[in-house]
Chain A
Amino acid sequence: MSEAPLTILLVEDNPAHAEMILRSLAEHEVANHVTWLEDGETALDYLFRRGRYAEPSESPVPFVILLDLRLPRVDGLQVLRQVKEHAVLRDIPVVILTTSEAERDMARAYEYHANSYVVKPLRFDEFAALMKDFGFYWLSWNKRPETEVGRGMRGGAPGSAKAPPRRAGRSGERERHGEASDSSRG
């Protein structure tokens, strides 16, 4: 029995960007666990517990999803749509994190009920600040009902989460073609 990890699901095909995100999150001790997946198809497998993610212990329900739009195989909008059409998964906040500033992408993202749409900043300091704010906002300030998803996992309660999780482990999980690799660094 350990305190349930506050998992962030990161779907990002660009490894460099993924590294930047993971390092920024770790820097500000935002999450104690980040699962990084590189394409839309794998992300859906994870969320819907298919294939190698069939085992629930392998695929804890994320507290929030950071989703890139331009992804191989299944693009981000498709992932978003399927999540938001799902009776349970739709409660998970989905934050679109993309390079695209196209109106069409924003409109469609919100049409599919994205919770937030964020364009990757070019400047690094802004990028770092964004990651910090993101963590605090979604993991601390944002309130949700006490559902299974709301608790962030099935089984153990995530605690009343009265305060932002300050001591979240700085760990990230990187998954690629079904293989997870630890990319955390401290």
Chain B
Amino acid sequence: MERFRLADLVDVARLQRMIDSLYVAGGISVTILDGDREILVASGGPDACLRYHRGNPETRRRCWNSDAAAEKFLAEVPLSGGQEKRRYKCENGLWNVAVPLVARGMYLGTLFLGKFLLADEEPDMDFFRRQAAAYGFPEKEYLEAIEAVPRFSSERLDAMLRYYMDLVATLVDLSLARIEAMEVSEALRESEERYRDLFDTLDQGVIYQNASGEIVAANAASQRILGLSLAQLQGRTSMDSRWSAVRKDGLPFPGEEHPAMVALRTGRAVRNVLMGVFNPQEEAFRWIDVSAHPRTRPGATDPFEVYTTFMDVTERWKALEAVKEKTEEAEQFFLSALDLLCIADTEGRFLRLNAEWEHTLGYSLDDLMGRFFIEFVHPEDVQATLDVISTLGNQKEVLNFVNRYRCKDGSYRWIEWRSFPAGRRVYAAARDVTVRREMEEALRESRDRYRQLFESMLDGFALHEILLDGEGKPRDYRFLEVNPAFERLTGLRGEDIQGRTVLEILPKTESHWIEAYGRVALSGETLHFRNYAKALGRWFEVSAFSPRHGRFATIFTDVTEQERGREERERLIAELERKNEELERFTYTVSHDLKSPLITVKGFLGLLEQDLAAAKPDLVQKDMGRIGEAADRMALLLDDLLELSRVGRIVNPSALHSVEELVRRALEAVSGRLAERGVVVEVSPGLGDVYGDGPRLVEVFQNLLENAAKYTGEQEKPRIEIGVMRREDGIVYYVADNGMGIDPRYRETIFGLFNKLDPRSEGTGIGLALAQRIVEVHGGRIWVESEGKGKGSVFCLSFPPAPRVGGDDV
């Protein structure tokens, strides 16, 4: 038990008043020290002490020494025993008596009674006189003060001591009683506080209801859980319709069946009832686990109140529900998943499988369950599968493992696995990837084939991406990929152009190409055309198509040979047509011109007959002349035709000839006629060379000279000039005269076979036709330029350049 201080046990002020009163009444001074030797109360003392002993340092020290001795004395004096044994004389010659104050065996302090003189003992006045002398006290007054010190007999002392001791004991008893009461009340308070703290801070809701079911107290947790304030709760009963309580299954929970009401009714506790209560603050149900305990007063049978404790199990309930749901969901999932799901043990046995296995492998689940799955694995995959089982046995997951499983029909399916070990179980999700693998295989093969084709094809291939402007119109395109043939055909290198745009590479690309390819890339139309690449000198056949929106591919084939063949064919056809036409014209001309003399011959034979009959000798002569002329003409025509047909048919070897030499030979051949007409011929120097059939080329110049000599017209000083002009389109030889000239209308017809401008002129009219034919056979061209009649004529000749001589050329 805690040590009490006397000051806490007695009313110190009252005690002081009591001893003061006693002092006044009986002259008895009392001092009470508490357990710590501190003066608790003290009444006044005799003047001897107060005025003299305490006033001198030496005597004051002797007072204190006495007090210290008293303490020592007190400690040694047994608590029981008479007052004689507790009496002592202080060093200044006065008596004290000290008694311990004890209550309930506990030392509380010391009561001093003193100073006094004993009534049955004569005071030693000499001692006091010496003392007065020693310490300078005025003797008379000092001795009077000694005389005034109360004198008590032993009996009186005993009585007084008993009184004081009883007094103190009574006071202490009272105090202790009070202290004890205080202690009880403190314990009660603490208990109450602990209970209150518990009540207030408890997570569980606690509600007290009285016998009629009204709520009288509700802790904070209950308010929180129920979403109601204390004010709202107080007075409410379980029967209150506002509770909206439900049972586990969601059905209403009637008030009379609430645990509290049951407990009140039965007097027995009700435990762990699950109840859903609507929390109006959260506007949601809270699930609580409720227990109700009735309280019954001793001796009574009916409970006077009930307290209900409840725990918020909403989260736990939800969690439980969720787990249950998840479990059901997982089960559902397992059963209905399209993936192949299985649970196996680490030994490699199927423990559980979903229905999809039946579909995939064709076995019933019963066939599979409990079997070692290695039995179904393709022999080639067995080792790898065993390795996987071992890995799983080491609690390591295995992802994307693929092996082959034998189906009931003996075929194999590719199965891809994701397996997760958990202890002795393996959870695996698998998938039939047979189709995917077959497709991948096919795709890979196709890709390889495509790549091989792409690399080895002779056609150029280029893939492009069209680039659009802000309005969605094609503005450019980018090369994505080109094949080796493309590089070979175009001379462009893939590494130089891939990723770049055509306008970067070929800035002059015309916009119509970009537009056309844009249509291909955006609308999916295809394009086919032939295009001549001037820079490469080659023809390409181009197909453009869109492999996917926004892109286009071009495939182009070098069709130069084909195109050249076509050109050659067209040239040959044109040549043939020209020849045919020429032949037709020739046949027509020939038939007409050969028929004419025949008609003449027959006609004049008829006339001759008549004239002979009529004996007209002059006419006969004339008729015969006509017949002869016609026959001669026929002969001439036949000769000329023969000559014409030889051109191009009978060919002398081609060689390079000096034009001057050719002209010289022609002049020689026609010198007679030129001389006859007095024609002056001038030949320019530096005529150069021409490649061809020498004798025929001489004939050309010869015919032109003859023609010029024939049509001198009225020119008195006929002149012929032979020279060369170097024009833009090549070298042009000319034979110019100052004769009668040619009307522009007849520039073409004069070269026609047997055409003559002047029907009276000599010859058949084959000369210019022959010249033209020879020139054409040489691949050259002949034409006439004349400013008109009487202005002279200029016959012009041009020949293709001579083939380069040397090397292997033949």
Contact = CB atoms under 8 A, between A and B. Distances in A.
Contact of B600 (A17, A70, A121): A17
B588 A20 contact: no
B759 interface: yes
A66 B604 CA distance: 20
Given A124-B607, A127-B603, A127-B606, A14 B746 contact: no
Interface stretch (B3-11, B291-299, B591-599): B591-599
A7 B736 CA distance: 44
A130 B410 CA distance: 107
Interface stretch (B86-94, B120-128, B750-758): B750-758
Contacts of B597: 16
A20 B600 contact: yes
A70 B590 CA distance: 12
Given A19-B626, A99-B595, A122 B755 contact: no
A120 B756 contact: no
A14 B630 CA distance: 10
Given A99-B595, A177-B760, A16 B602 contact: no
Given A20-B604, A124-B607, A73 B746 contact: yes
A20 B603 contact: yes
Contact of B599 (A38, A39, A99, A104): A99
Nearest to A185: B619
Interface in A15-49: 16-17, 19-20, 23, 38-39
B197 interface: no
A20 B757 CA distance: 23
Interface in A46-95: 70-74
Contacts of A100: 588, 591-592
Given A14-B596, A99-B599, A39 B759 contact: yes
Contacts of A70: 592-593
Contacts of A125: 606
B606 A128 contact: yes
Interface string A104-137: 1000000000000000111111011000000000
Contacts of A17: 596, 599-600, 603
B629 interface: yes
A72 B626 contact: no
A32 to B, nearest CB: 22
B118 interface: no
A177 B588 CA distance: 27
B596 A123 contact: no
Give chain A's interface secondary structure class: loop
Contacts of B600: 14, 16-17, 20
Interface string B116-150: 00000000000000000000000000000000000
B15 interface: no
A163 interface: no
A11 B354 CA distance: 115
B355 interface: no
B759 A13 contact: yes
Nearest to A69: B592
Nearest to A38: B759
B605 interface: yes
B603 A16 contact: yes
Residue of B591, B592, B745, B757 contacting most chain A CB atoms (<10 Å): B592
B676 to A, nearest CB: 22
A150 B746 CA distance: 34
Interface of A: 13-14, 16-17, 19-20, 23, 38-39, 70-74, 98-100, 102, 104, 120-125, 127-128, 176-177
Which A-B residue pairs are the 6 nearest by beta carbons?
A124-B606, A16-B600, A20-B603, A99-B595, A13-B759, A72-B759
Given A70-B593, A99-B591, A127-B606, 5 more contacts: A14-B596, A20-B604, A39-B759, A122-B598, A127-B599
Interface of B: 588, 591-593, 595-600, 602-607, 609, 626, 629-630, 743, 745-746, 749, 755-760
27 contacts: A13-B759, A16-B603, A16-B604, A16-B629, A16-B630, A19-B626, A20-B604, A20-B607, A38-B760, A70-B593, A72-B758, A99-B592, A99-B595, A100-B591, A102-B588, A102-B591, A104-B588, A120-B599, A122-B599, A122-B602, A123-B606, A124-B603, A125-B606, A127-B602, A128-B606, A176-B760, A177-B760
